[in-house]
A and B are shown apart, each in its own frame.
Chain A
Amino acid sequence: MDADVIVVGSGISGGWAAKELTERGFSVLLLERGRHVEAGTDYITEHLAPFQLPYRGFGDRRRYAARKPVQSRLAGLSDANDHWFVDDVDNPYATHPDAEFAWIRGYHLGGRSITWGRASFRLSPLNFSEAGRDGHGIAWPITYDDLAPWYAHVERFIGVNGDRDGIATLPDGEFMPAHGMNCVEEHVKAVLAEKFAGRPMINERSAVLTRPLGDRQPCHYCGPCIRGCSTGSYFSSESSTLPAARATGRLKIMTDAIVDSLVYDPATRRATGVRVIDAKTKARTTLGARVVFLNASTLGTTQILLNSLDPASGRSFANRSDALGRYLMDHVMGPFGLATIPGFTDRMPLGNRPSGIYIPRFQNLSGQGGADERPFRRGYGYQGSASRQMWTRGGEGEDIGPALKHRLRTPGPWQMFIGAMGECMPYADNRATLGKELDRWGRPLLDVAFTWHANEHAMAQDMAVEAKAMLECAGGTDIVTSADLGPGGLAIHEMGTARMGADPAQAVLDAHNRCHDAANVFVTDGACMTASAAQNPSLTYMALTARAAAFAADQMKQGAL
């Protein structure tokens, strides 16, 4: 045995598994396929000015075309942050022109917890029960009440700022004070309250501190969180869970350690080890533990499980249901509305708030028909913010000389942006499989096929229509909307390929995130999600991880594992 528990992946859920299990007295070996990152000192672009970056923040686009053609599908990839996104040539996967999936990845200690968007919303009782109401997808094997105490546990540790808004379909949590809305957002909020019943606009709930928490300092409002935060003001594995796990003295971390597969013993129906490849030398070794937590990201975990064969059948030990790899979801994201809001020019936010506003889902809530009913299933919400136009508006126009310089010396008009994010339904043909080709470590390439179906397209149209209606009511001018959906993956909320469900014939994982067919293998990253809901999912991954870790710890203490 190399440890009581092997945790595969150091991102937002793997960090939680390491923390909870070490704090309960168990030794943890954390395997990270990417490089080591030292919190703070390795945040090499933090607080750099544009003129301190090689391309001023406009990105090294020739290198992206050659080496990061998928990662650069992400708006905002630049020379300020491209070290957090993988080289697509070195880390290939297969996808399809007519079913393209953009797999955005960060292979380094801390994973995508360094670059995440930090929005932290609970799923609601409705989200956990909606399949039972509308008959689409399968039922979650847990209820909101099962997870609620773990949401609270996670919120208290990561630090979430927000307001207790009292919205039944967006449950309140344990919050620090919100950053607060600016005057234009307050204006739009008041318009919605007056003219759109059932559409409250609230402060986004975000895992950024507005009060000190342990060694972590409140936000200093520099703005581009994606570069890393040396004060630990936003939650990441690096700022929070890994230091907590290290403090127990029971954490060992191996970086550059790629997990190929699990060793499965059909006699005991358990995993007996983890096959690991040294990313640099390609040397292979097998490590052993009582329990394995897979937190390698939705598709990374799926790739490992698909490649973990039951020697008796020659097929993945975790795929009796044939659900493994299927039901891939990503949030319906892309449609937006943008408008100029006249006035308020004597006001200007000071400091760069790392969050914005949220308009929770307002469609199909009652399930009884009525004003909120739409010609599609489930629903969507909006994130957004109001801000003043900056000097970039000077890139357009025909003026030069003193007039141009004078025009750009002060901020431009206010604009209100709202971008939608909606629930994606689980479809069997949105699927990851193993291909025949091997990567340079000898692992079968993951092949990912994903398309939006009619429900998502109908939702996207509605997102643009409603955005326009709200911005018009708020007095917006020059309104621009879009209903376009890009390829799947760009919400970076891929999930669902090893879903939870009570029936082993339909689902990979049980109510404790444990493989139906391996009592000591837990999956608590996005792969476990039975349904996507419309909310940003990371908080739910963390709560599910903490809950599953507590269960695994109890099982080990009782000698069952």
Chain B
Amino acid sequence: MHRRETLKWIAAAALVAPGAARAMAGHDHHAMAADAAPSALAPPAYTPFAPARHAALDRLVDLIIPADTTRGAKEAGVTGFIEMMHQHWMSPEEQRRCDAELDLVMAAFAAGGDPAVALYDGRRFKAPTLRKLTVYGYYTSEIGATEELDLNLVPGAYDACAAFGAGGRAPALNVWGISLSLDPGPRAADAAPPAIAPAAKGAA
């Protein structure tokens, strides 16, 4: 492996030239990304949702995190991430909740009009679990982490109070690990429980 040698260099450089170390660290990241990850670390194979549901999820994730100056959730593969998590990670209750939310979303899309309006009950977004999964899937994707945010896997130096100015991007890496909970928590927008219209469910 070259990695150890590269890191020795980075670590040594960090003492004299933090900027150079950062540049080198970025290079090292790309070199490592090209390495094949050990096969045990590959994501599990999954079966996509039925075509109509897959298409609706595609549309939903891109409404939640659209492309602008960087690519959005659909291009980042968030649809497949949610399908994988649905099959391999969620509890039966979480699966049912996601399914019900997707039913509501499909009903809203079918009703036509501005989806940004149709996806809300008052101030409440109709699919909070799918919204959260979209956020978590996007910012841990290669596009979300490296294009939208700043992924620096080996900074090589530490500056406790660096200046953060206009145009700066938040770091993508959450060092302490990210726990994902799909437990429905309290929602600030409304004290009442979300209203799920039976008619809308039936229409899906």
Q: Which residues of A contact B (CB under 8 A)?
A: 40-41, 44-45, 47-62, 75-76, 78-81, 179-183, 212, 217-224, 230-231, 233, 345-353, 388, 390-392, 394-398, 400-402, 404-405, 408-411
- Known A220-B154, A351-B159, A352-B173; judge A404-B64 contact (CB<8 A): yes
In the complex the two chains form, is B42's CB within 8 Å of A54's CB?
Answer: yes
Residues of A within 8 Å of B10, CB to CB, are 220
Q: Which residues of B contact A (CB under 8 A)?
A: 1, 3-4, 7-8, 10-12, 14-15, 25, 29, 32-33, 37-38, 40-44, 63-66, 68, 72, 81, 85, 88-89, 116, 119-120, 123-125, 128, 131-132, 135-137, 139-142, 145-146, 148-149, 151, 153-165, 168-180, 185, 187-189
In the complex the two chains form, is B38's CB within 8 Å of A401's CB?
Answer: no
A385, closest chain B residue (CB)? B176
A218 to B15, CA, bound (A): 9
Partner of A400, one of B116, B146, B154, B189: B116
Most A-side CB within 10 Å, residue of B33, B42, B170 = B170
Partner of B41, one of A48, A181, A402: A48
Residues of B within 8 Å of A76, CB to CB, are 176-177, 179
In the complex the two chains form, is B177's CB within 8 Å of A52's CB?
Answer: no
Partner of B187, one of A183, A398, A402: A398
A75 to B177, CA, bound (A): 9
A411, closest chain B residue (CB)? B170
Residues of A within 8 Å of B68, CB to CB, are 402, 405
- Known A57-B140, A395-B136; judge A179-B160 contact (CB<8 A): yes
- Known A221-B156, A233-B11, A349-B159; judge A54-B164 contact (CB<8 A): no
Residues of B within 8 Å of A212, CB to CB, are 11-12
Residues of B within 8 Å of A219, CB to CB, are 11, 158
A394, closest chain B residue (CB)? B135
In the complex the two chains form, is B89's CB within 8 Å of A62's CB?
Answer: yes
In the complex the two chains form, is A80's CB within 8 Å of B170's CB?
Answer: no
Q: A50-B178, A61-B89, A400-B116 are in contact. List 16 more A-B contacts (CB 8 A).
A: A48-B37, A49-B29, A51-B141, A51-B145, A52-B33, A54-B43, A55-B88, A58-B180, A76-B179, A212-B11, A218-B14, A223-B173, A351-B159, A400-B64, A400-B119, A405-B72
Residues of A within 8 Å of B185, CB to CB, are 396
- Known A76-B177, A220-B154, A409-B148; judge A401-B33 contact (CB<8 A): no
A349 to B158, CA, bound (A): 7
Partner of B65, one of A41, A231, A404: A404
Residues of A within 8 Å of B155, CB to CB, are 220-222, 350-352
In the complex the two chains form, is A49's CB within 8 Å of B42's CB?
Answer: no
Partner of B11, one of A218, A347, A388, A395: A218
Q: List 11 A-B contacts (CB under 8 A).
A: A47-B32, A49-B153, A52-B41, A221-B14, A349-B162, A351-B156, A352-B155, A392-B174, A395-B136, A408-B170, A410-B170
Most A-side CB within 10 Å, residue of B29, B41, B65, B88 = B41
Residues of B within 8 Å of A391, CB to CB, are 135, 139, 149, 170, 172
A58, closest chain B residue (CB)? B180
Nearest CB on B from A85, distance (A): 13
Residues of B within 8 Å of A349, CB to CB, are 158-162
How would you classify the secondary structure of chain A's contact residues: helix, strand, loop or mixed?
A: loop
Nearest CB on A from B47, distance (A): 16
A61, closest chain B residue (CB)? B89
A224, closest chain B residue (CB)? B175
Nearest CB on B from A560, distance (A): 44
- Known A222-B153, A391-B139; judge A55-B164 contact (CB<8 A): no
In the complex the two chains form, is B89's CB within 8 Å of A55's CB?
Answer: yes
A60 to B10, CA, bound (A): 33
Residues of A within 8 Å of B89, CB to CB, are 55, 58, 60-62
Nearest CB on A from B148, distance (A): 7
In the complex the two chains form, is A346's CB within 8 Å of B165's CB?
Answer: yes
Most B-side CB within 10 Å, residue of A49, A81, A217, A231 = A49
B119, closest chain A residue (CB)? A400
- Known A219-B11, A220-B14; judge A350-B149 contact (CB<8 A): no
In the complex the two chains form, is B163's CB within 8 Å of A347's CB?
Answer: yes
A219 to B40, CA, bound (A): 28
In the complex the two chains form, is A52's CB within 8 Å of B170's CB?
Answer: no
A223 to B12, CA, bound (A): 17
Partner of B7, one of A49, A220, A353, A408: A220
Nearest CB on B from A106, distance (A): 17
Residues of A within 8 Å of B160, CB to CB, are 179-183, 349, 353
In the complex the two chains form, is B164's CB within 8 Å of A346's CB?
Answer: yes
In the complex the two chains form, is A75's CB within 8 Å of B179's CB?
Answer: yes
Partner of B151, one of A45, A49, A75, A404: A49
Nearest CB on A from B104, distance (A): 14
A15 to B87, CA, bound (A): 43
A17 to B175, CA, bound (A): 32
A353 to B157, CA, bound (A): 9
In the complex the two chains form, is B38's CB within 8 Å of A230's CB?
Answer: no
In the complex the two chains form, is B154's CB within 8 Å of A47's CB?
Answer: yes
A49 to B26, CA, bound (A): 13
In the complex the two chains form, is B154's CB within 8 Å of A411's CB?
Answer: no
In the complex the two chains form, is B11's CB within 8 Å of A231's CB?
Answer: yes
A226, closest chain B residue (CB)? B177
Partner of B3, one of A183, A230, A397, A404: A230
Partner of B158, one of A217, A350, A410: A350
Partner of A40, one of B1, B29, B81, B85: B1
